[in-house]
Amino acid sequence: MAHLLMVESWVGSMGRLLPRAIREGGHEFTFLTRDLHHYLHSAPEGVAHPLLGARNVITADTNDTDGLLPEVERLHEVLRFDGVLTSCDYYLPTVARIAWHLGLPGSPPDGVENACRKDATRRVLADAGVPGPRFAVHEEWAGIARAAREIGYPLVVKPVDLCAGMYVRRVDDEEQLAATARALGDFPVNARGQRREPSVLLEELLDGPEVSVETVSHAGAIHVVGVTDKSVGGAPAFIETGHMFPAALSAADTEAAEQTALAALKALGLVDGVVAHTEIKLTSAGPRLVEVNPRPAGNRITELVRHVTGVDLAAAFVEVSLGREPDLRRGDTGLRSAAIGFLVPQTSGTLESLNVGELPDAPGVLEVQLAEPGHQVKAAGSNNEYLGHVMAGDAEGAGARDRVEALIGELRSGLVIR
C-alpha cells in the first residue's frame, strides 16, 4: 500500500475518479487543501465527497508554494508520502515543485510550469520547431492592438493562465478585441483565489477539426493511448460540446496528431510521471498544437477511453505518480466507440423542466447526468456552465457520436428555462 499526497482537486469528474483509482489500487491519500468547504458544497446533499475519504485532511495555504514546501516537508517526515498529485490545473506546478523538493517521482517543475502557462508553452514549442499558430503576448493595450493587426483578424484571444475555455474568444475586429481585453482585466483572481497574470495571448485563428491525444509518460517513454475528437461550439466562445473516442480519422491524420503531441511533450520535458491531454488542430496546412495539459483529460474523456479500451487513465495517473509502470494493456470491452455530449445552456434563468423520459434506459446509453429543475442557469461562456451530459457507446463502429447528438437533441427539445 502506498501513501499519496493530493494537493487540491477538481470537484467534478476527476475529483471523483482519482480517489476511486487510489482506493482501487490499494493505496491511500492525504488531502491538502486551503478551503475544505469548496468540496463540501459540491457534493449532493447527504453524500460525502470522495475526497473526504482521505486518510488525513489537512488545511494549509496551498496558494503559497514557497511557504508550503517546508510545511509539506514536515508532514512528509511524519506521514511518509510515496507520491504527490493533483487533478486541478491551478496546482500542477505546485505539485511538481513539492515532488522535486521531496525527491518523489514527477516531471521537472519548469516543464510543468511551462505547460500550464499558455504563453510559455508557445515560446518553448516555437523554439523547438513544434508547429503552432502565429502568436503574440502583451499586457498593455497598445501592444495588444498592434499585435492583433500584425497577426490579422479574425484571431483568438486567451488568458495565459486559466482553463476550461474561460475567456477564450474569437474576435473579428478591434472593438471586439477591446471588449475581450477589458473582460479579462476585470477578472484578476481565479476561482481558487490565485492572482492572475495580466498578459493577453493573441493567436492566429486556425481552421480544421480539433482532436486531443491522450498519453502516459513513464521512465522517459511516452505511450500514446489514443486520439479523441472534439466538438466545439458557442461562438465567439470555444465551448466543448462533445467528444468521441477514438476519433474518426484517417490513419495519416491520426499519425500526424500523435507525432505532434509527442514532439510537444518531449520539448517540454514531460517524459516521466505524467498523464497528458494534448489538443491539436488538424488544419489545411497540417497539424498545429493548441495546448498541452499535463494531467488526465477532463469532461469524462478518461471514461470514454476506459469504455472502449479498458485502459483506466486515472489509475495510470496514480501509478506514474508513484514512479511505477502503469497497466496500459487493452482489452475487448465490446465497444468500438464511445461519445459524450453536453447540454450547453444558451440563456440564463431557472431550469423549469427537462424531459428525460426513458433516456437512462435507452440502447447504448452509458451515463446520464443532468441538472434538476430549480437549478440556476447561466448562459454558457466556457466549459463550466453545462447542464449535464449523456454518454453512449457503439459496439459496431464509430456511431457513438451520432447516437449522443440525437439524444442531446431530444433533451434540448424539452428544455425549459425561465
CATH of the domain at 55: 3.40.50.20
Residue 114 resides in a domain: no
Residue 112 resides in a domain: no
Query: What SS3 class is residue 183?
Result: helix
Strands, DSSP E only, in 129-238? 135-138, 155-159, 169-171, 200-204, 210-218, 221-233
Cell of 133: 499558430
Q: Does residue 410 share a domain with residue 326? A: no
Q: Which residues span the domain enclosing 85?
A: 3-104
CATH code of the domain containing 315: 3.30.470.20
Contacts of 179 (CB under 8 A, 6+ apart): none
Contact 23/30 with Cβ under 8 angstroms?
A: no
| 361 burial level (CB within 10 Å; 0-12, 13-18, 19+) | exposed
Residue 124 resides in a domain: no
When pLDDT is averaged across residues 209-235 and rounded to a whole number, the result is 97
Greater model confidence, 52 or 368:
368
pLDDT in tens, 50-63: 888 899 999 999 99
Q: Does residue 329 share a domain with residue 218? A: yes
Q: Does residue 197 share a domain with residue 238? A: no
Position of cell 491524420?
Answer: 253
Q: Does residue 243 share a domain with residue 182? A: no
pTM of this prediction exceeds 0.85:
yes
| Residue 43, pLDDT above cutoff 70 | no
| Residue 38, pLDDT above cutoff 90 | no
Task: Give percent of the chain above pLDDT 90.
Answer: 90
Q: Does residue 351 share a domain with residue 384? A: yes
What local confidence, expressed as pLDDT, does residue 141 receive?
97
Contact 373/339 with Cβ under 8 angstroms?
A: no
Q: Does residue 374 share a domain with residue 264? A: no
When pLDDT is averaged across residues 136-150 and rounded to a whole number, the result is 97
| Residue 167, pLDDT above cutoff 60 | yes
| 297 burial level (CB within 10 Å; 0-12, 13-18, 19+) | buried
Residue 189 resides in a domain: yes
What local confidence, expressed as pLDDT, does residue 44 receive?
60
Contact 202/148 with Cβ under 8 angstroms?
A: yes
pLDDT category at 45 given cuts 50, 70, 90 is low
- Tell which of 204, 229, 264 closes a domain: 204
pLDDT category at 249 given cuts 50, 70, 90 is very high
For 297, half-sphere exposure in the C-beta direction (CA atoms, 13 angstrom radius) is 29
| Cα separation, 135 vs 150, whole angstroms | 10
In terms of Cα–Cα distance, which of 166, 170, 160 is closest to 118?
160
| Residue 254, pLDDT above cutoff 80 | yes
CATH code of the domain containing 145: 3.30.1490.20
| Cα separation, 170 vs 148, whole angstroms | 12
Residue 128 resides in a domain: no
Query: What SS3 class is residue 117?
Result: coil
Residue 365 resides in a domain: yes
Residue 182 φ/ψ, nearest 5 degrees:
-65, -40
| Residue 168, pLDDT above cutoff 80 | yes
Greater model confidence, 39 or 391:
391
| Cα separation, 30 vs 354, whole angstroms | 39
Average pLDDT, the chain: 95
What local confidence, expressed as pLDDT, does residue 42 receive?
67
When pLDDT is averaged across residues 176-189 and rounded to a whole number, the result is 96
Number of domains in the chain: 4
When pLDDT is averaged across residues 339-344 and rounded to a whole number, the result is 97
Residue 113 resides in a domain: no
When pLDDT is averaged across residues 89-117 and rounded to a whole number, the result is 97
Residue 345 resides in a domain: yes
In terms of Cα–Cα distance, which of 21, 66, 34, 62 is closest to 313?
21
pLDDT category at 330 given cuts 50, 70, 90 is very high
| Residue 11, pLDDT above cutoff 90 | no
- Tell which of 307, 333, 359 closes a domain: 333
- Tell which of 155, 184, 204 closes a domain: 204
Q: Does residue 7 share a domain with residue 57? A: yes
